[in-house]
Amino acid sequence: MALVTFLSDFGDQDFYVPAVKAKMLAINPQLNIIDLSHRIETYDLAHAAFILRSTFRDFPKGTVHLVAVNTTGSMTQGYIGVKLEEHIFIGPNNGIFSLLADKEPGIMVQFADIHVQESSFPAKDILAPIAAKVASGAAIHDFGGPLQNFRKLMPRIPKATKEQITGHVMRVDRYGNLITNISKELFDKLNPGKFSIEFGRESLDRLFSGYDQVEPGDCFAFFNSSGYLEIGINHGHGGNLLGLRFESVVNIHFAN
């Protein structure tokens, strides 16, 4: 199946998204193009990486993921293709692919000059044709050679001791729920059985299984389907009501 996901910071008010799709479909009209999101805040690599990291493993192995976020920014060092966990990613070498997993991709290709023309719209003129051809059966090696300089960004990592975990909010979703970088794996490894979760001026000493496990207006905390601690207020905007935002601190204290 020729499957391509498409993630960008283009928004939905201009011609950019349909132009990129048209370019891919002109190469292979049978492509199945899935929009992940085009409402990433402009140049926001952290948000884009969060969306991609949270979704790409749910697609079939072999899926091609076209990423067009900050494609012309000063931090972009050319255009690349990488293979990670049997998925193919096509996009700018601006560090976004370093945020998808704890390990480096198994294959990394720098697209050759013959495929990288001067363009003010590289998502359409450079990345879309390569993504369409790779989804149709070509190998990323066909478009370049080994990548020598894989640009990396450093994600914020929780600090953990036997007494506590200090993490941060990675994302505030449209409902106001706060998704942290504290993983269930880390929590389970350190949890002696008794704990308290502190966020803003609130604290909880138990985990729930979902949003509706508490009364409207009450706080909740649970590990979501991506395996990260999520906190919020049932039927309320947790970010606003708790005074928390991106990179706000969340602590878990353990009691032996």
- pLDDT (tens digit per residue) in 179-224: 999 999 999 999 999 999 999 889 999 999 999 899 999 999 999 9
Residue bearing tokens 């999101």: 37
Q: Checking DSSP bridges between strand 249-255 and strand 194-199, what pairing results, if any?
A: antiparallel
pLDDT tens digits for range 11-31: 999 999 999 999 999 999 999
Minimum mean pLDDT range among 28-32, 38-42, 110-114, 188-192: 110-114
Q: How far apart are CA 180 and CA 174, in angstroms?
A: 15
Q: How far apart are CA 213 and CA 64, in angstroms?
A: 38
